[in-house]
Amino acid sequence: MSNIAGKVVAITGASSGIGEATARLLAQKGARIVIGARRTDKLESLAAEIRSEGGLVELQSLDVTDRNQMEAFIQLANKTYGQIDVVINNAGVMPLSPIEALKVEEWDRMIDVNIRGVLHGIAAGLPIMRKQGFGQFINMASIGAYTVSPTAAVYCATKFAVRAITEGLRQEAGGDIRVTLVSPGVTESELAESISDEEARQVMNDFRRVSIPAAAIARAIVYAIEQPADVDVSEMIVRPTASLF
Ligand code: NDP
């Protein structure tokens, strides 16, 4: 039987794609969840759907690049439910482009959301988990955390960084806190919509034809959470069977 029921899970970037699918699945399994993202209208409709099926959910507007907002988000989970079992650092952006295009603002945004956002989640959750003596971080990397391809240098760099941070945290976390890296291959979501470079967008459109549903990643996340407290699923790559990359 799953031990997900009753666990308190905070999910960043839950307004679409993988975060949304994960929120839905965890709520179905009886987790008490808190969802955050900038598009609160999307969070509202997801929360309404979850509540109509008897699920427990709170929501809050969240920009993960703002440390104070992240702190408030994690505090909301802790105050509402009295503990935090899992923080899923899922929010991410992927405006791909060749380095030559010098889209420096997009580089900065990827660094801020994909790296700083994860660090803010860790900074907000770790003191609470230490005090409790239990907890789990699940950080979203990518197949781009293992290889680099043209137009994806900065995105991959952010995901290599997430992988390094996650492994370092796992080593330092000791016996109480579990740390998991989830690296999806191409997954149906809104991720590629932030690409402003026309050529990179075309290439991605072709590349993303072979994909898996966001629910596939949600199931992997559930697997990592439902293991016993002494079992740490440290790293998972989940990709389309037909994918070469
Ligand atoms: P989506 O674009 O569908 O979801 C991204 C989520 O991140 C949205 O909910 C968005 O919400 C949120 N987000 C973006 N910026 C911020 C911010 N500043 N503060 C808070 N939330 C933010 O894409 P996915 O579901 O695919 O992405 C989820 C994760 O999976 C990302 O980390 C991505 O890099 C990773 N991934 C996805 C793959 C795929 O093929 N889909 C492959 C490999 C990794 P809002 O805009 O409302 O703030």
Instruction: Give percent of the chain with pLDDT exceeding 90.
Output: 95
Which ligand 1 atom sits closest to the C-alpha of 192?
2
8-238: CATH topology: Rossmann fold (3.40.50)
- The pLDDT tens digits for 130-173 are 999 999 999 999 999 999 999 999 999 999 999 999 999 999 99
Please tell me the pTM assigned to this model: 0.98
Residue with CA nearest ligand 1 atom 19: 63
- The pLDDT tens digits for 108-122 are 999 999 999 999 999
Answer yes or no: is pLDDT of 2 > 90. no
How many CB atoms sit inside 10 A of residue 6's CB?
12
Which ligand 1 atom sits closest to the C-alpha of 189?
3
- The pLDDT tens digits for 57-107 are 999 999 999 999 999 999 999 999 999 999 999 999 999 999 999 999 999
Is 16's C-beta closer than 6 angstroms to any atom of ligand 1? yes
Q: Residue 118: what pLDDT?
A: 99
Provide the terminal-to-terminal Cα distance of the chain, rounded to the nearest Å.
34
pLDDT (average), residues 187-215: 93
Task: Tell me what the pLDDT averaged over the chain comes to.
Answer: 97
Is 191's C-beta closer than 6 angstroms to any atom of ligand 1? yes
- Give start and end residues of each alpha helix (H) in 111-181: 117-132, 153-173
Answer yes or no: is pLDDT of 1 > 80. no
> Could you tell me the distance, in angstroms and rounded to a whole number, from the CA of residue 1 to the centre of ligand 1?
30
Q: Which residue has the tokens 């509402």?
A: 80
Of residues 203 and 144, the one with the higher pLDDT is 144
Beta-strand (E) ranges in the chain? 8-12, 32-37, 56-61, 86-89, 135-140, 177-184, 235-238
Is 95's C-beta closer than 6 angstroms to any atom of ligand 1? no
- Report residue 74 as tokens: 């994690």
